[in-house]
Amino acid sequence: YAILNEAWRLVNDGVLSVKDIDTVMTEGLGMRYAFLGAFEAAHLNAE
């Protein structure tokens, strides 16, 4: 639930809109996590 909590914080602070969050999750992070998973994505992004 960490991503959802952070998303709500960004909306409440006026940083992003709900539509912006949905766009990020469906076209960005969500697509990556659907194929790799959070830990595998982090491992592949490590330097």
Amino acid at residue number 22: D
Q: What pLDDT does 8 receive?
A: 93
- Res 16: pLDDT: 95
> What pLDDT was estimated at residue 27?
81
Domain coverage including residue 24:
2-45
Domain count for the chain, please give it: 1
| C-alpha 31: how far from chain center | 10
| pLDDT reported for residue 47 | 65
Report yes or no on whether pTM surpasses 0.75: no
The pLDDT tens digits for 1-40 are 788 899 999 999 999 999 999 888 878 777 677 777 767 7
Query: How open is the CA angle 9-15-21, to the nearest 5 degrees?
Result: 70
The pLDDT of residue 43: 81
